[in-house]
Every structure is written in structure tokens, then in C-alpha cells.
């Protein structure tokens, strides 16, 4: 099984399955049918079975899935059974919100560093909101800090015009995963896993669907 050949949409749905399995588990449920899991995730049962079949046999005929086992298995598949150490680069409104967004980092993601070109000013502003001191570092220190704190993933939340400069900095570090929140398309050397996650593109998609529906 070449795990890297699994469709991205499957991986995305696995995240959803884990979330719902955790909700079920918290509610004290033990077993779930593929039909029920599918319904609560907004897909059909065949899709659930197909997505899981990439990775093995998890269901028990006539029973369904053991919730805790399936959640644990998917977490192992996704690599969520370990801690991922994350840096945020660019602490404007969006960066600060990610820094403070609890639901985002409930489980296995840990923000271990935050960077901004104006560390002192930004640290003051964020501390005011949190009521406790916040450490903001200058990007000059990215390479050193990435190594010391074993950063796995960097999230770029600078203005779009700065994104490539940040990408160039990241390319010189031990960081290997990048989540780009800006509309800029960044170029990185081979060996980096880069995903773009730009708000407006999704909003544009909704606008497009509404626009053509109204014809």
C-alpha cells in the first residue's frame, strides 16, 4: 500500500471521521454502523467503507465499527498519535487568532514559537488580549529556533507580499511542512510539504455557485 497515493479528499474525510468518532466516544457510545458514521459526516456509507479500505479492514460485519479502535487506527494512519510542533509566522489579526484559537490545537498540535518582524510591539498587543506575557520572536531567529524546538510545521500568516520571503527562510531550516494562509503562491524546494489554505478562494467558490444558480 503506497500511502502517498491515497486521494487527498480521503485524507480530509478521515479527519472528519476522527472528529465525529471522538464526539460519539465522549457521548459514551461504543459501536457505530458505517451508515450512522456516514450520515453524521455528510457522506454515504459506501464512501466511508471505500475510504477506510485504503488502509485495511476495520469493520465487523453485522456490528459496525468499534468507535475507540477506529479512532485510534485513523489517528495512527494520519500521524495524529504523536505531537506536531507548529510555528506561526506573521502575527497580525489572523496569526494572533490562530495563536489563541483553542479548538484548533486541542489535540496533537502544539504551537512552540511565534514570529513577527515587530516582536516587541506585537508581543505587547497580544499580551493585552491574553492577560499574560506572550513570546514573539524575530524571523531572523527562525533557523536556530526551528532546530532547538524541533518545529515540524510552519503556518505563514504574513501579508501576501511577504510570503515568498518567509518561504525562503523556511527552506533553510529543519522545518518540512508548510501551511500557507496567504493568497500568494509560494515556491519551495523539493522535500517540503506545502498546502495552501486561503480563505477567499473558498468564499469565491460559494459566490460562484450562488451566481450561476441564480441565472
Count, residues near its own copies per rule CB under 8 A: 66
41 SS3 class: helix
Q: Which three cell numbers stand for residue 197?
A: 489554505
Name which of 198, 149, 189 is nearest 170 in CA terms.
Answer: 189
| Interacting span for its own copies (CB under 8 A) from 59-67, 91-99, 114-122, 140-148 | 91-99
Q: Footprint of its own copies on residues 150-209 (CB under 8 A)?
A: 152-153, 159-160, 176-179, 182-187, 193, 195, 197-209
**Measured from the CB atom, is 41 or 45 closer to its own copies?**
41
Name which of 134, 85, 81 is nearest 105 in CA terms.
Answer: 85
53 SS3 class: helix
156, 186 Cβ separation under 8 angstroms:
yes
69, 58 Cβ separation under 8 angstroms:
yes
Q: Footprint of its own copies on residues 19-48 (CB under 8 A)?
A: 19-20, 40-42
Q: Residue-wise over 39-52: b if at least 16 C-beta within 10 A, else e?
A: ebbebeeebbeebb
CA dihedral 161, 178, 151, 94 (to 10 degrees): 50
- Write down the least CB distance from residue 61 to its own copies, Å: 26
**Measured from the CB atom, is 20 or 73 closer to its own copies?**
20
- Lay out the site mask for its own copies across 109-148 (x = CB under 8 A, - = otherwise): x-------------------x-------------------
Residues that bind its own copies (CB under 8 A): 3-4, 8, 11-12, 14-16, 19-20, 40-42, 77-80, 82, 84, 86, 93-94, 96-98, 100-104, 108-109, 129, 152-153, 159-160, 176-179, 182-187, 193, 195, 197-213
Amino acid at each position: 500500500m503506497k500511502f502517498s497515493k491515497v486521494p487527498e479528499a480521503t485524507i480530509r474525510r478521515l479527519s472528519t471521521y476522527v472528529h465525529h468518532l471522538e464526539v460519539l466516544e465522549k457521548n459514551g457510545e461504543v459501536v457505530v454502523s458505517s451508515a450512522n458514521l456516514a450520515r453524521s459526516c455528510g457522506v454515504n456509507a459506501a464512501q466511508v467503507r471505500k475510504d477506510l479500505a485504503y488502509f485495511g479492514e476495520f469493520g465487523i460485519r453485522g456490528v459496525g465499527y468499534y468507535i475507540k479502535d477506529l479512532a485510534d487506527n485513523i489517528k495512527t494512519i494520519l500521524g495524529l498519535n504523536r505531537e506536531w510542533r507548529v510555528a506561526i509566522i506573521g502575527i497580525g489579526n489572523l496569526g494572533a487568532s490562530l495563536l489563541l484559537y483553542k479548538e484548533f490545537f486541542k489535540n496533537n498540535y502544539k504551537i512552540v514559537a511565534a514570529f513577527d518582524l515587530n516582536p516587541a510591539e506585537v508581543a505587547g498587543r497580544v499580551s493585552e488580549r491574553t492577560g499574560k506575557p506572550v513570546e514573539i520572536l524575530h524571523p531572523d531567529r527562525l533557523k536556530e529556533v526551528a532546530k532547538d524546538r524541533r518545529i515540524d510545521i510552519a503556518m505563514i500568516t504574513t501579508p501576501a507580499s511577504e510570503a515568498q520571503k518567509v518561504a525562503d527562510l523556511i527552506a533553510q531550516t529543519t522545518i518540512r511542512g508548510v501551511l500557507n494562509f496567504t493568497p500568494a503562491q509560494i515556491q519551495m524546494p523539493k522535500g517540503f510539504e506545502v498546502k495552501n489554505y486561503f480563505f477567499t478562494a473558498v468564499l469565491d467558490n460559494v459566490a460562484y455557485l450562488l451566481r450561476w444558480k441564480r441565472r
